[in-house]
Amino acid sequence: MRKLHQIGLLIAFISLATGVARAQSFRVQCPTSTITHPATIHDNNSEPAYTGPTVLAPDTKGFLAPSANVNGAIKCQQISGGDGYATMGDGTQTYMFSFGPLSGLAKIANGQPGTDSPSEFNTLNPTSNVLQPGDPATTAGAGGLFTFNGAVGQVPDLDNGGAVNGHVDPRQMLDIGVMNGNIPAPLMAIDEDDEFFLTLSNVGMIMRPDLFEQHTVHFHGYPNASAFYDGVPDASVAINIGGSFTYYYLAPDAGTYFWHCHITPPEHLQMGMVGQLYVRPRQDRVTTDLYTSLQAQQGDLRTACNSATDILCSNPLPAVNTSATGAATVLLGGTSGYAYNDGDGTTYYDVEYPIQIHGFDPNFHFVGMTFNPEGFTDMKDKYFLLNGRSYPDTVTTGPMQTQSSDGVNHFSQPLPAIINIPVGKKALLRISDLDVSEYQTLASLGIPMQVIAINAKLLRDQAGNNMYYNTNSITLGGGESLDVILDASDTTKYPSGSVFYLYTPNLDHLSNDAENFGGLMTEVHVN
Amino acid sequence: MRATKMTKAISVSKLLPVVMMALASLFTATAQASTPGITGPAFNLSAAPAYLTQPDGAAVYSWGYGCNGAPSGFAPAAIPSASTFCNVMQVPGPTLIVTENTQFTVVLTNQLPSSAGNTSILFPGLTLVSTSGGVPGLLTQEATSTSPVTYTLIATSPGTRAYYSGTQGDLQVEMGLYGAIVVLPASVPTNCSANATTPPGGLPFSGANGVAETNWGEKDFRLASAAYNNAHACYDREYLFQFSEMDERIHSQALAQVNATAGCAPGVAGCSLNVSTEPYHPSYFMINGRSMPDDMDPNYAFQYPHQPYNGNPHMHPGEQVLLRVIGQGRWQHPFHEHGNHVRILARDGNLILSQTAGTTPDQTGLAGPLLFTTTTTPGLAFDGIFYWTGKGLNWDPYGHNPKSSDPSATLACTPDANGYNTGAPTAINYYEWCQDHNKPVQVNPFGDVAAGGPVTLPDPNIFANGAWYGGSPYLGPNATLRATGCSSNSYINANQTSCGQTGSTPPSGTIANSPSGEAGFAFMWHSHNEREITTNNVFPGGMLMMMLVDSREFVIDESM
């Protein structure tokens, strides 16, 4: 379907053609110091321990700025908006509108969040290491080791004394970004109190040059969002091909959110512009008593939750003080943590897995690739995806690659959906659904699912009672998320070597188009 | 009379410019919503046929409940009575506004075509005291074409509920026989009516919102001060949204059979319909009986004589907004509220309370979830509370600038115990989140907004503007004009540049939220089964509406 936006864009082009151009079109942003995170107090390249609320004092410029106890740090990420190809469970190559990584490339290829600290993001690619189209797949295919995690394209700004200030060489961005779409879109993870600078660079959709399409990022579930950074093109601005837009967020309350493009949602979401995003809690940075720490968070009105006066108070103190002590493994670089600021340790996990449910309608994707208007009411998914893959690809380790129409292999499906739980441990599943046409159910054969949160909010009533519940299936519509803990601590029931299945009881979704076995299913391995 | 009906995707693309012109012409009107309905205690309803209009030009044959004669009253009173109407058929049916524990009657007269047979109303969650007239049916007493049925009812708890046909529901509900009942609490908790200052004809508020409304000349469009007799059910504004979908084939088939049996005698062999309601393939997805953008036209807009209710929520920062949401039709829809979470208060009029509510320390007692996507389920109603304050943005959305010569740019922000500027209800920045007061977002100065923030905004030459883009990142016409209009000469001279560097809305005709008039923050509220935000294959359409957070300078008039 042709859309309103494009007419608007034409008008915008005409009316703005005489405007004053004063900035580079592609650019990245990742400051090392801000009002909220002054580098003079903490260098922002790591997360400081949480010891109490941030101390704010009036700045000479008329606003409050931290004077001590700065919490959180700065995080940055760059993504491309464009197109690409993925391989479905039956081997079919499918065209997508999609986002790809333009920073944290090595991490994304390794199934990790591509989010960088400023020192990582602002690391320049050595001139000796020329980025190849398709990288990291190209380097890996040649037997090389790809380790670069910085912002693709960032080079010294020779007009400003060689400063690293976000100036880019667009050739590198296009070499990497074009035809490099991923499903799911690059994984993002930030910590509460962080400032997050997310740069979207629109590299164009090579297979659909007729569309000259904008893309946006909608941070789905961001509380008290501004319209400007909400990513709805109708209510804000959208970046044209050849330009970059940096979205700015102060990390909201901890939880499992997700993100997607908001241009013509029925089209761009179906075509694959969906990704995962979660916010780790302050409690991950606590080494002392969790209850006391949650009480301390009441000392900053931004992080406080007063259920007596705030109907949207998301995280009251627990009714029972369990005297649990923080594991603070985030500070130590471990895999474990807490899903929420529970104050009682009940959302502890040893390993976490983001799982995104999605569906592809092959007919819609084919029509979308071949310059035809797609119908919406006939949309019918035939591929049912967990992290962009159908069974048995869901349990394939490492990134999956697909050769795009540029003749080069790309890591278009970087994220496996296999769940490995160390024996006797707990796994957190951060499940989100961005299917655009139907509700999906995911069932656990074996380990029960303990639902601890829905829509990025801890399941706790306003009097502090936990309302977690056990179930063997969860149902989500597009635009919903929830958190589930798979507790394998009973080693009699769940001994090492056991394999369980997560699958959909929507039995027609256990298929890959014409193949009647596959679809929305993955495996849980107790190791 | 049927307008041109588009059934193929190919034809849609040809007709799209027409559709877009229609859309564009509607963008200029600023309409707002509320929870309009009719009052009792005696409701005289009809069930009758008429055509519903859709934004693609289709007129779809439907059945709906309506008023059999003038209703005893309309509410809220803030909607001028001259603009209200209740036709013999409307979709959704008239919203019945009643009070908890007060008996009321609904008389249903069957004016459907004789071949449609009997009809009825189910009132799930209400106590059916007695019925009279009509004939017994499978689920309830039914009205025949000659014998109306009278339902005598009482609601024993407040809240929002659905009503719908209890006769051949697969066809009659699909055809449009559904509506809403709003039950007001018999008593309102004292804290919800603590502040008696209110615009003329208004109700008491829990806080100073009535002072603000009075100051700006706004009316109070609420039906009550609280949704429930619970200290946390106070609200400042309310909206009702009913979600439903239509399969046009069912409607055309019904029409063809009705025409073929016109004038037949009820009960005679052959005087009946045999419409296939499966397979189900809807192409119209509606909020309050209208598809986007029609849903954002005013309540009681003359062009929709059978679809009087709109979906066009507006609110000011800090206002507690009661959402009354009902799933009608037969599908579930994941209704996504951009901008913030919703606290679910109740389901089908049942407050969701903590197992320890009422014990010490009883903090609030509420136990409903916080959701950013609220699934609507057929036959299910829920009440929830939403608000928007900008808390946590880490920049000042009002673009305050202590160095400005504009008094509105140098307003004070004095935090209350929760951090909001609630001590100044008549100020533009009433309910501003004070921790971010004066904090800039942009690295470089733009117009009369301070520099020194974290991000550089893109060059306006390389982005496209949306119809609801207010023209700047800032909230309200004052802040937007200062950001884009270069009210600071020193800035213009120092930078040797033109103004409007943060961009402006597109040329006239597509401005729905003008920089100088409204400049609100627009948020899309829509079904996240994204294919349902289309109208018969055309995007945008369907279950989509824009919610606007408006600065206090902008007067929200829900009667429009």
Distance from CA of A300 to the nearest CA of B (A): 9
A89: tokens are 């469970």
> What percent of chain B stands above pLDDT 90?
79
What was the pLDDT predicted at B364? 63
Binning chain B into helix, strand and coil, the percentages to the nearest 5 are 15, 25, 55
Does residue B558 carry a pLDDT above 50?
Answer: yes
What confidence category does residue A18 fall into, taking pLDDT thresholds of 50, 70 and 90?
A: very low
Lowest mean per-residue pLDDT among A85-99, B283-297, B352-366, B527-541: B352-366
- Give the tens place of pLDDT for each residue, A286-300: 989 999 999 999 999
Given pLDDT bands bounded at 50, 70 and 90, which one contains residue B494? low
User: Which whole number is the average pLDDT over B313-320?
Assistant: 98
pLDDT tens profile B125-161? 999 999 999 999 999 999 999 999 999 999 999 999 9
- CB neighbours (10 Å) of residue B356? 18
Beta bridge partners of A444: A502
Residue B72 CB neighbours (<10 A): 12
C-alpha torsion sign, points A148, A153, A157, A158: positive
Do the Cβ atoms of B332 and A477 come within 8 Å?
Answer: yes
DSSP code at position A136: T
| Nearest chain A alpha carbon to B550 | A227
B471 to chain A: closest CA residue: A236
Coarse DSSP helix, strand, coil percentages of chain A, rounded to the nearest 5 percent: 15, 30, 55
Answer for the pair B165, B174: CB distance below 8 angstroms, yes or no: no
User: Distance (Å, rounded) from C-alpha B70 to C-alpha B54?
Assistant: 27
| Structure token digits, residue A380 | 């019918």
Rounded to the nearest 5 degrees, what angle is found at the Cα of A186, between the Cα atoms of A181 and A191? 165
Q: What is the DSSP string of B345-396?
A: EEETTEE-B-TTTTSSS-S--B-PPEESEEEE-BT-EEEEEE----TT-SS-
Residue from B283, B335, B359, B370 whose CB has the most chain A CBs within 10 Å, to mutate: B370
Our measurement of the distance from residue B173's CA atom to the centroid of its chain's CA atoms, rounded to an integer in Å, reads 21
Find the mean pLDDT for residues B67-83. 94
**pLDDT score of B358:** 66
pLDDT digits (tens, 9 = 90+) for A142-189: 999 999 999 999 999 999 999 999 999 999 999 999 999 999 999 999
Q: What percent of chain B has pLDDT over 70?
A: 88
Chain B residue with CA closest to A305: the answer is B418
pLDDT at B31: 62
Cβ separation B391–A265 shorter than 8 A: no
Of B232, B320, B497, the CB nearest to A20: B497
Asked if A462 lies within 8 A of B13 by C-beta distance, the reply is no
CA dihedral sign, ordered A264, A268, A270, A275: negative
- State the greatest distance between any 2 C-alpha atoms of chain B, in Å, as a whole number: 88
Residues of B in contact with A230 (CB under 8 A): 338-339, 523
Alpha carbons B100 and A29: distance in angstroms, whole number:
57
What CA–CA distance (Å, rounded) separates A28 from A200? 9
ipTM: 0.94
Contact (CB<8Å) A379/B332? no
Amino acid making up residue A130: V
The verdict on a CB contact (< 8 Å) between A266 and B530 is yes
Nearest Cα residue to B50 out of B59, B58, B40: B59
Tokens of B22: 């229609």
Assign B503 a pLDDT band (cuts: 50, 70, 90): very low
CA B388 to chain centroid, in Å, comes to 16
Asked if the Cβ–Cβ distance from B459 to A22 is below 8 Å, we say yes
- Write the pLDDT tens digit of every residue in A63-80: 999 999 999 999 999 999
Measured between CB atoms, which of B16, B373, B394 is closest to A2? B16
Which residue among B336, B343, B418 sits closest to A301, beta carbon to beta carbon? B418
pLDDT tens figures, B418-443: 999 999 999 999 999 999 999 999 99
DSSP 8-state class, residue A317 = P
Percentage with pLDDT > 90 across chain A: 87
pLDDT at A414: 98
Residue B201: CB atoms within 10 Å: 10
pLDDT surpasses 60 at A13: no
**How far B358 CA lies from chain A's nearest CA (Å)?**
10
Closest-CA distance of chain B to residue A239, Å? 4
- pLDDT beyond 50 at B204: yes
Share of chain A above pLDDT 70, in %: 94
Q: Is the pLDDT of residue B270 over 80?
A: yes
Kindly state the tokens that stand for B197.
């200052």
Angle (deg, nearest 10), helices B9-27 and A4-16: 60
Render pLDDT for B504-534 as a digit per residue (tens, 0 to 9).
444 433 578 888 889 999 999 999 999 999 9
Give me the mean pLDDT over the A457-465 stretch: 94
Across the interface, of B336, B354, B463, the residue whose CB is closest to A239 is B463
Q: Residue B491 pLDDT more than 80?
A: no
pLDDT value at residue B481: 84
pLDDT tens profile B94-103: 999 999 999 9
Task: Assess whether pLDDT exceeds 90 at residue B252.
Answer: yes
Q: Contact, B402 vs B393, CB < 8 A?
A: no
| HEC sequence for B104-123 | EEEEEEECCCHHHCCECCEC
Assign A65 to helix, strand or coil: strand
Helix (H) or strand (E) holding B495: helix B489-495
Residues B59-66 have a mean pLDDT of 98
pLDDT at A371 > cutoff 90: no
Chain A residues whose CB is inside 8 A of the B415 CB are: 301
pLDDT tens track for B34-44: 899 999 999 99
Alpha-carbon gap, residue A80 to A101, rounded angstroms: 6
| Whether pLDDT at B496 is above 70 | no
- Residue B552 Cα, gap to closest chain A Cα (Å): 16
Q: Give just the sign of the alpha carbon dihedral B20, B26, B32, B37.
A: negative
Question: Best interface-test mutation with B: which of A201, A436, A461 has the largest number of B CBs within 10 A?
Answer: A461
Q: Is A392 buried (19+), middle (13-18) or exposed (0-12) by CB count in 10 A?
A: middle
Higher pLDDT residue, B472 or B484?
B472
CB B472 within 8 A of CB B502: yes
Mutation choice for B interface testing from A312, A315, A371, A374 by most B CBs within 10 A: A312
Summarised one tens digit per residue, pLDDT across range A346-362 is 999 999 999 999 999 99
From the CA of B421, how many Å to the nearest CA of chain A?
A: 13
Mean pLDDT of B4-12: 34
Amino acid (one-letter) located at B461: N
- CB-based burial label for B296 (10 Å; 0-12, 13-18, 19+): buried
For every residue of A478-503, DSSP letters joined together read TTEEEEEEEE---TTTS-TT-EEEEE
pLDDT score for B2: 37
What is the full DSSP assignment across A266-316? HHHHHTT-EEEEEEE-GGGG--SBHHHHHHHHTTSTTT---TTT-TT---P
Q: How far apart are CA A510 and CA A245, in angstroms?
A: 39
- Three-state SS letters, A328-371: CHHHHCCCCEECCCCCCCCCEECEEEEEEEEEECHHHHHHHHCC
Q: Which residues in chain B have their CB less than 8 angstroms from residue A464's CB?
A: 363
pLDDT in tens, B165-194: 999 999 999 999 999 999 999 999 999 999
Give the pLDDT of residue B19: 41
CB contacts of A35 in chain B (<8 Å) are 439-440, 452-454
Give residue A10's pLDDT.
37
Q: Chain B closest CA to A184's CA: distance in Å?
A: 18
Residue A229, CB-side half-sphere exposure with 13 Å CA sphere:
28
- Mean residue pLDDT of chain B comes to 89
* Confidence label for B7 from pLDDT (cuts 50, 70 and 90): very low
What are the chain B neighbours of A8 within 8 Å (beta carbons)?
A: 464-467, 506, 510
State yes or no: pLDDT of B26 exceeds 60. no
Using the beta-carbon criterion (under 8 Å), do B530 and A197 form an inter-chain contact?
no
**pLDDT class for A328, splitting at 50, 70, 90?**
low
Q: Which residues are B242's β-sheet partners?
A: B326
- Please say if the pLDDT value at position B484 is more than 90: no
Q: CA-based angle A411:A415:A419, to the nearest 5?
A: 150
Contact A477 B375 (CB under 8 A): yes
Whether B536 contacts B304, CB under 8 Å = no
Give the pLDDT score at B457.
Answer: 86
Listed in order, strand segments (DSSP E) in A24-92 are 55-58, 64-68, 74-87
| 3-class SS of residue A105 | helix
List, in order, residues 6 or more apart from A517 with CB less than 8 Å away: A391, A510, A511
Please give the pLDDT value at position B1: 34
Q: Please state, in angstroms and rounded to a whole number, the distance separating the CA atoms of residues B40 and B27.
A: 36
Q: What is the pLDDT of residue B13?
A: 37
In the predicted model, what is the mean pLDDT of residues B230-254? 97
Across chain A, what does the average pLDDT equal? 92
